[in-house]
Structures are given as structure tokens and as C-alpha cells.
Amino acid sequence: MLGLPFEFRGERLRRVSITDMKDLPPVCDYEGSDYRTRFWEGGARAYEDRVERVALRRLMPQSGKTLIEIGAGFGRLADEYTGYEKVVLFDYSRTLLHEAQAQLGNDPRFIYVAGNWYRMPFVAGLFETIVQVRTLHHAADVPAVFNQLFRIARPRATYVLEFASKHHLKAMARYWTGRQDWSPFSHVPEEFVELNYDFHPRWILERLAGAGFEPGRMLTVSHFRMALLKKVVPTEILVALDSFAQLTGDWWQLTPSVFIRNRHVSPGETADPGMFFACPECQTALEASEEALLGCSGCLQQWRFRDGLYDFREPVS
């Protein structure tokens, strides 16, 4: 998962290093983290997992040729992509991608790619569907991320985005009672911990449109994300209630998690058949290969393929 370890939207875990790449905004690395076991398997988050899947199924086309998940981590949502011929699990963390490999086995549909979302290693117009869940809240430069995703999306592609919203009822209650300094009504992103941001829905919609996407249907998710409720109310009931409440998303957004279905509507190109990877440094198309190194004919950089993982984090020295 691209982003900062480890606040996990407020739950403090150990920090790992921030990486700066030349003139790019900072990203953070989940390398070697226990994100899967600590946050998901040991964090009593069956409710969050299930309601996010409900929202994803409502917004994502169920079949197609090419899909990429941005910040796929250990492959939590990979079993939702059974209708796609080719699925890229993209993340900055090699460790989490190797966990995904171990979980998914030898399914040839999956391609594991480590890289930086500010410099995506794919040719333009490649993907029919883009999915991004629980990662945008770590983006220091959201417009730059959207611009990269617009570039690699095919014309009329679907982009399903989840983001952490500042405009939710708990934040409003804290603000009104003086327990919180920042306003949930301000459109300015709130960095409540280093490289952890909450966003106002209106601000996100404006940046999506600015990148060339057409925002569409919205769903509000995690209405009942409260520890006490999750302890006393069966998960099945909470999921059913949340599934119904999600349908209010086109009218108001008052939950900590919001999903949006977007379309690539501006003029663009469709990738030529057989073209897939591009050099993240100069955007020269790379020859498809499973050799140990992928060489760029443009800038002469080399990129590593090892143990089933395409590694575009930094070139081979």
C-alpha cells in the first residue's frame, strides 16, 4: 500500500522511513510492516472490509481486459477482480506485494509491480479500470496522482476511488464542542499526522475534474465505524444497514469514507496491443520481458524483474 505507516487513519503503529525521489513529492514505505496482521487480521475490521467490498461491487465494472489497483498491498481485494483478463497489483512496498503473491498463488492473470504513483511505469491509455481504496489519504500531491492515473487510463475508462473524508459527523461534533481545532467544513485538506490527509468531498471532485475525469455516482461508507457498535451488533446486521445507507452518497457525504465512480472523458489514447510497461524516468515504452533486467532505449536506465515482481522503485545502478 502506498502511503505512510503507520497511523492507519489514527491508530499509531511503528513508523518506517520516508523516501524522497529526486524532485518528486515524498512517499512512505510499508516495507517490512505488519499491516496485514496488525490492522486487518488482528484489528477487528471485518465490518470495514465487507462494506468496502459492497461499495466496490456497486461501482466497478465486473469484467474487462485490464485492471490496476493502486496501493494493492497484500491483495486484500484481489478476489473481487475475477472477471478481468489481466490484473496489475501496484504498490510501493515489495514486502506487501510478495505477501499478495503468496496468497494468490500462480494465477497468471496477476502482475505484481512495485513503483511510485507519481511516476507510473505504464504506457498511456492502458487500463480499462482503475481501483484505489484506502491509499489516497497518504498523497502529498493529489492532483499529481490523478494526472498520472488519467494518463494510463483508456478513454472511457472507469476509475473507482475511495478517499478519507474530513466532512463527517464525528469530526463535526468534535469541532463544535471545541475538541478539534480544524474545521470539517473547510475545503483545504487536513494533514492530521505527517502524510496522513483527510479531504473535503468538494475539493476531491474539483481535482478529479481538473485531471480530466468526470465524477459520477458517490457512495458513503462505514456509517457505523465505532468500536462499541462493532462489539455489540452482529457484523451481518451492520453490513446490511451500511449497504442501505451507502445509497445516500449522491445527496450528502457525512461518513469518514467516500467512494466515487469516475470516467475518463477527455481526449486520450489507447495503448497499442503488446505495449505495457514504460520507463518511469522518460516514458519510453519498454519491451515486454521476463528477463532479469528491463532496459530502456531512451534514457538507458534498467529496471529489475525478480521473483515474479517488476520493480520500478529505482533503477538498477
213 and 305, same domain (yes or no): no
In a domain, 239, yes or no: yes
171 and 312, same domain (yes or no): no
pTM of the predicted structure, to 2 decimals: 0.92
130 and 241, same domain (yes or no): yes
In a domain, 139, yes or no: yes
Total Cβ atoms within 10 A of residue 172 = 16
Over pLDDT 90: what percentage of the chain? 80
Question: What is the model's pLDDT at position 15?
Answer: 39
102 and 164, same domain (yes or no): yes
191 and 311, same domain (yes or no): no
95 and 230, same domain (yes or no): yes
1-53 tens-digit pLDDT: 443 333 444 433 333 344 545 688 999 888 888 888 888 877 689 999 999 99
Domain range for residue 312? Answer: 282-317
| CATH number of the domain encompassing residue 61 | 3.40.50.150
Is the dihedral angle over the CA atoms 303, 308, 313, 314 positive or is it negative? negative
Question: What is the model's pLDDT at position 178?
Answer: 96
Question: What is the model's pLDDT at position 44?
Answer: 83
How far apart (Å, rounded) are the C-alpha atoms in residues 56 and 61? Answer: 9
Confidence of residue 170 (pLDDT cuts 50, 70, 90): very high
221 and 135, same domain (yes or no): yes
Average pLDDT for 81-96: 97
50-87 tens-digit pLDDT: 999 999 999 999 999 999 999 999 999 999 999 999 99
190 and 260, same domain (yes or no): yes
Q: Say if CB 260 and CB 216 are below 8 A apart.
A: yes
145 and 125, same domain (yes or no): yes
How far apart (Å, rounded) are the C-alpha atoms in residues 222 and 216? Answer: 20
How many domains does the chain divide into? Answer: 2
246 and 219, same domain (yes or no): yes
> Of 99, 124, 103, nearest to 114 (Cα)?
99
155 and 68, same domain (yes or no): yes
* End-to-end CA gap in the chain: 25
239 and 209, same domain (yes or no): yes
Question: What is the model's pLDDT at position 39?
Answer: 84
In a domain, 131, yes or no: yes
277-294 tens-digit pLDDT: 999 999 999 986 777 899
